[in-house]
Amino acid sequence: MKSWKFVLSALIAAGFAFGAVGAQAKNKELKIGVIGALSGGGTAWGQGLLHGVTIAADELNAKGGLKVGDTVYDLKIVAYDDQYNAAQAKSAAERLVNEEKVKFLFGPVGSPGALSAVPVTQPAHVIEFVDGYAPKILDNQWKDNSFVFRTGLSSQEFADPMVAWVKKNLSDVKKIGVIAPNDAVGQQAITSLVNRYKSQGFDVWTDFYERGTKEFTPVLLRMVAQNVDLFDLNANAPGEAALLIKQAREVGYSGKIIQAGGAGVNEIVQAIGPAANGFLKYDIVDFDDPRLQPFVKKYKAKYSGIINGLAPQYYNTARILFEAISKAGTLDTTKVRDAIENLQGWDAPIYGPLKWTGKKTYGVAHQILIPFYIDKVKDGKGVVIDTITPAGD
Amino acid sequence: MFSPVILGQVLINGISLSAIYILVSLGFTLLFGIMRVVNFAHGSLAMLGGYALFFLYTQYHVPYAIAVPLAALVVATLSLVLERMVYRWFYQKMFQSMIGLIGLDMALYSTAAIIWGPNERSIPSPVSGIYHLGPLFLSSSKLVIIFTAAATLLAFFAFTHLTRQGLAMRAAAQDVETAELQGIHTDRIYILAFFIAIFMAALAGGLYAQNYTLSPFMGERPLMMAFVAVILGGMGSIPGVALGGIILGMTESFVGTYFGSTTSTFVTFGAVILILIVRPWGLLGTPEAS
């Protein structure tokens, strides 16, 4: 009986001892904020962001954590849903900055959310990574001491080379039709694109639709009556772009269709099937690039379904941040920001050597410079037919 | 712009749009007409019809003509659980039903997004391609919708006017207490009406998803259009739904093509506001007894 009690006591004591050792070995926690549309129409983009950052964090946690000076941190993703809504994005940013005390934030996706989050993150010196096209995301009142980085191209970088590509490769095109949502994003995108097309000598016809529309045949019939040679879907979301292509064919439009902006060729193909064949598309990643294959393998092991282009883009971004934190050896955001700026030339996993640009255009060199791709849908698959690297400033 | 060809195409688009709006509105108006439930989960139940058709037709390769009604039948049968757990508490409680069913709607589309992902999918048409009627175009999927809407409207009209169950349903819609005094089991009639309403919502959802795209969030637009068509025609009125759907579809096609989508939206919702002021019970509805 005595020996039984002794064994039990020894086991309990050993348990406490191992527990104490385990507790000592446990890493500290570093919260990484994410804001994206995790419900509603923009969910594919928000999930792309979240999945990309999560895979990067998982990789590091599996290797034992992020070493910052003498301390090792386990990364914990804290994600908030903004439903692709500017007011919700601001509220999410306030909660992440003021309550969760995050110092590093990915998102919100798109311009409206980013523009409303920046006034929260910049005065607090929170490092924020975004992808929205609006120039004011970078060119704002905090640009002299900016903590926001754009880690995808904006129309400022890709629109001129894209229009030049159209001029060179689609030489029979004289008149272009552009249809966009009738809101601030659509108005801004259409103005920027139309001016560039006109500067290259194209005749341009434009029209708008109400956001949320599913039936585009009336506006498409207006376009058909204008005898356009090329229909540009500009920055329409994948779901809307897909329906515009399908219904354009249904009302008898037989000309070329292109989308000079936005991500998601695979989403469009999945949404409308063979109707997408022949469609030309600006894209942000080349999924056949050998550099992407390790990421694709990890993504497929963890998630199912189509990989949104924002997933590898934000994976690349997260890896840039973690590298910069390691190099800075501190969580002080000013020092980490400087380390990110000084990572010029670092071999980032998806896009290769890192290059920051934008000093002339935005007043701060926080704009990433990466290539973009032109896809053509063939037999139900987007195939890269050209790769273009825009000129920085 | 005003050529006969464009005008003909506008008319064809108007007919197909009207058919879509009639189809998505039928189940919505039935539930209100019989149980006074404003079914704000209508769009999500239509979405479930879309996924049921997607899996039956594209994954399990059930023949299309069987998959379309079978998908609606599956959703209507499974939704009887929702009838027992949720809807039953809101019968004859119009305002409570609005709030409660908004919650159900959110629960359904969020669950769908978790299970099937947020991306949009396509349901291929059984007869691919676009028909050419001289210089005019009509897609096969829209042709299917036009025939289905016409057949459903006629079948439902025949059911409510020629069968005992249908007549009992109309009696319960007019006055529950009097119907019960006449020996009608309103509990059973409610379940039957609920089943038919969800069947029609799911049927419409399957065809809507095929014509546009399938996603967990696709229900928002059909819900809004059903609401507008039903308000125009008169809440609870089947002929009213037909009229409301035709007005809505034709207005959108003609005004949208000749004056732009912003003007079309202005005219459509302006007409709804006018109707609500001048004739709040709709064009073919009947005023509530005071």
For residue range A345-359, list pLDDT tens digits in order. Answer: 999 999 999 999 999
Q: What percent of chain A has pLDDT over 70?
A: 93
pLDDT 10s digits, A159-169? 999 999 999 99
CB B284 within 8 A of CB B25: no
A270 touches B at CB < 8 Å: yes
Mean pLDDT of chain A, nearest integer? 89
Hey, are the CB atoms on B113 and A39 less than 8 Å from each other? yes
Q: Which residue of A has its CA nearest to B21?
A: A215
DSSP structure class, residue B214: B
pLDDT at B288: 67
A254 touches B at CB < 8 Å: no
d(CA A122, CA A119): 6
**CB proximity list for A72: less than 8 A, separation 6 or greater:** A27, A28, A64, A65, A66
Q: What's the mean pLDDT in B175-184?
A: 86
Q: Is the peptide bond before B222 cis (omega within 30 degrees of 0)?
A: no
Q: What's the mean pLDDT in A242-254?
A: 90
Distance from CA of B162 to the nearest CA of A (A): 36
Structure confidence at residue A21 as a pLDDT band (50, 70, 90): very low
d(CA B153, CA B212): 22
Give the position of tokens 């006018």. B274
3-state class of A88 per DSSP?
A: helix
Between A371 and A269, name the one with better pLDDT: A371
Give the position of tokens 């019960």. B180
What's the Rg (C-alpha) of chain A?
Answer: 24
Q: What's the mean pLDDT in A15-41?
A: 71
Q: Which of A338, A377, A350, A140 is nearest to A249 (CA)?
A: A377
d(CA A349, CA B121): 30
Q: 3-class secondary structure for A27-68? A: CEEEEEEEEECCCCCCHHHHHHHHHHHHHHHHHHHHCCCEEE
Segment (H or E) for A13: helix A2-25
**Tokens for B9?**
């195409």
Q: How many CB atoms within 10 Å of residue B180?
A: 15
pLDDT at B246: 93
C-alpha A218 chain-centroid distance: 32
**Tokens for A95?**
């909660």
What's the Rg (C-alpha) of chain B?
Answer: 19
CB B264 within 8 A of CB A218: yes
Q: Which residue of B has its CA nearest to A245?
A: B212
CB A280 within 8 A of CB A375: yes
Q: Which residue of A has its CA nearest to B138?
A: A250
Structure confidence at residue A41 as a pLDDT band (50, 70, 90): low
How many helical (H) and strand (E) elements, i.e. helices and strands, does chain B have?
12, 2
Q: Which residue in the set B1, B124, B257 is minimally distant from A218, CB to CB? A: B257
Hey, are the CB atoms on B10 and A208 less than 8 Å from each other? no
Q: How is chain B split into domains, by residue range?
A: 4-218
Structure confidence at residue B22 as a pLDDT band (50, 70, 90): very high
3-state class of A202 per DSSP?
A: coil
CB B249 within 8 A of CB B271: no
Q: Is B157's pLDDT higher than 90?
A: no
CB A255 within 8 A of CB A230: yes
pLDDT at A10: 52
pLDDT at A22: 45
pLDDT 10s digits, A210-233? 877 888 988 998 999 899 999 999
pLDDT 10s digits, A94-149? 999 999 999 999 999 988 899 999 999 999 999 999 999 889 999 999 999 999 99
Q: Which of B245, B123, B13 is nearest to A248 (CA)?
A: B13
Q: Is A6's pLDDT higher than 80?
A: no
Q: Is A3's pLDDT higher than 60?
A: no
A40 touches B at CB < 8 Å: yes
Mean pLDDT of chain B, nearest integer? 89
Lowest mean pLDDT among A126-130, A289-293, B215-219: B215-219
Which strands make up the sheet holding A230-232, listed edge to edge? A203-209, A175-181, A230-232, A256-259, A280-283, A372-378, A381-388
| Chain A residues near residue B1 by CB distance under 8 angstroms | 222, 225
d(CA A204, CA A357): 31
Q: 3-class secondary structure for A138-186? A: CCCCCHHHCCEEECCCCHHHHHHHHHHHHHHHCCCCCEEEEEEECCHHH
Cα angle A181, A183, A188; round to 5: 90
pLDDT at A111: 87
Lowest mean pLDDT among A94-103, A367-376, B8-17: B8-17
pLDDT at B183: 87
C-alpha B95 chain-centroid distance: 20
Lowest mean pLDDT among A237-241, A360-364, B99-103: A237-241
d(CA A228, CA A234): 15
Taking CA atoms, B124 is separated from A372, B128, B145, in Å, by: 31, 8, 14
pLDDT at A80: 94
Q: Which residue of B has its CA nearest to A276?
A: B122
pLDDT at A49: 96
Residue at B23: amino acid letter: L
pLDDT at B81: 96
Q: Is B28's pLDDT higher than 60?
A: yes
d(CA B222, CA B22): 10
3-state class of B139 per DSSP?
A: strand
pLDDT at A228: 96
pLDDT 10s digits, B158-178? 998 899 999 998 888 888 888
pLDDT at A192: 80
Q: Which residue in the set B137, B255, B261 is minimally distant from A210, CB to CB? A: B261
Q: How many CB atoms within 10 Å of residue A145?
A: 11
Lowest mean pLDDT among A330-339, A367-376, B137-146: B137-146
d(CA A289, CA A350): 9
CB B28 within 8 A of CB B226: yes
pLDDT at B237: 86
pLDDT at B285: 83
Q: Is A290's pLDDT higher than 70?
A: yes
Helix, strand, coil abundance in chain A, percent, nearest 5: 45, 20, 35
pLDDT at A16: 47
Q: Is A1's pLDDT higher than 70?
A: no
**Tokens for A299?**
């993504």
Q: What's the mean pLDDT in B182-194?
A: 90
Q: Which of A108, A70, A32 is nearest to A318 (CA)?
A: A32
pLDDT at A85: 84
d(CA A303, CA A308): 11
Q: Is A8's pLDDT higher than 80?
A: no
| Chain B residues near residue A271 by CB distance under 8 angstroms | 119-122, 213
A206 touches B at CB < 8 Å: no
pLDDT at A280: 96
> How many beta-carbon pairs under 8 angstroms link A with B?
99
